[in-house]
Structure 1
Amino acid sequence: MRIVFATDLSDASTDAMSSRTCLDCLDNIGVTEVHLVTVVPDNVSSGLPGMESATDARRSLRPQREVFESAGFDVETHVARGTPHRRITGFADRLGAELIVVGSRGESPLENRLVGSTARNVARTTTRPLLVERIAPPDADQAVVKEHLFERVLFPTDFSENARTAFEFLPRLKGATRAVDLLYVRGRDDDVTDPRDRLADLAAEVEREMGIEAGINVREGNVVDEILAEETRVGATTTLLGTRGRSRLRRLLLGSVSESVVARGNNNVLLVPPRAAQR
């Protein structure tokens, strides 16, 4: 599997990718080729404080490259100037990447943060599955918020076609996943019949395809609130969500639920775009 790993060159990003949590989990899902990408924004010009690392960004990428190479991955580095999310998704499309990884915290000397807008905009425009990895605060005891990226996956579904596309990504995590939890949130104007039976059918597919049992649960209330509560209840390390698709403006309509889970949650989030958007 070939992936694009977006980095802002910060110590936090280096620490996160150096953890066995990151390296082992990527290896376990079959990643062999890593493309490290860092982007210098257009609004940064030479002569500004902090530009020394920007003008030699490729040199700054060497420690991170060495982290992946020492773990046995084939690594290429890419330095670009422009709008971060556009260059990241552009590299992923051109390279035929099967996954993009973006950290959800950290800042470089250029203040090019992969925190809010970049991660959100990559999520809205990507035609590739995207992992938003939570990097721990500076005073934390560990580099990442959740150990073992894909060990316990929460899959909320509304039984839509887009959710089905995300569900079909699950078997690709087989080597790193020990437990899967399936969730449906019943809303006020819910017209879905027999959601527990439908979840049970999906659980049977998980057992057949991945060789592990899947828990099921039906909750009632606000969809985002209930997803976040279920993450805590089951101890999920990654939440897998499908996104809604593209508009005529060629902008990915991430969807209020997916976007809110990314913005408000404290869990790693794996977003899978609909089949029509994938290249």
Structure 2
Amino acid sequence: MKLGHRLAVEFVGTFWLVFGGCGSAVLAAEVAGKPGVGIGHLGVALAFGLTVLTMAYAVGHISGGHFNPAVTVGLFLGKRFGAKDVLPYVGTQVVAAIAAAGLLYAVARGRSGFETPSGPGAFATNGYGSNSPGGFSLTSALIVEVLLTAVFVFIVLGVTDRRAPKGFGPIAIGLGLTLIHLVSIPVTNTSVNPARSTGPALFVGGESLGQLWLFWLAPLLGAAIAGLAYRYVTGSTGGDDTPEEAQVIGGGRTAGSRPARKRR
């Protein structure tokens, strides 16, 4: 597949993740501003998991189904993704997240009595301290985001390993992301994805935008830990013969990678 096609589906997948996941938090977690009436944390967690699961099956065979700068960086450091495509992928994911957040903001403004979002978790933003849904500190947020991103990227690397059962990757990744949200929504409102954090923060501004640095630093650090550690923990990169080879979340090779060279 040409890079343009892969970037196009990365845009679609990331857009769906942010609009569907953040949309569930903004539009459905509460009804008319009444906590507890809507789907709650469990529903939001499931929504994020389902966005990744559905798009991984839909377009994972074309782009690899990253939808997250942390996943892209983790796969690169794990020698499962080519260096030349890292920045195009990350840039596309961020643009898609901003577009999804913008459309979601337009929908939210249509609610009677709409006010500019503010406070902990407002408009599905991430935060710590006064911006944490549960009032958790910067240290707590850093630990949670680094650890859970590392686990998430480790799961991605594991299910796309050439030795893993084929075709079940999206299920494991979707359920993994659901569990991650159940743990960390009270702490940071769950990022583990710098693009997902950037979109909503740009529309809320203020302290949410000022704290955005953590939700780039921590997920990328967690991704680096997982990407570098996976091959040492499992004894192999899990890819094919060439470093740029990687398996898509649904099984097979990442679109755009070269066929493996035959061994003599």
Q: Decide: shared fold, TM above 0.5.
A: no
Query: What range is the shorter-chain TM-score in?
Result: under 0.3
- TM-score w.r.t. the length of structure 2 is 0.27
Structure 1 or 2: larger helix share? 2
Higher relative CO (Cα under 8 Å, sequence separation at least 6) belongs to 2
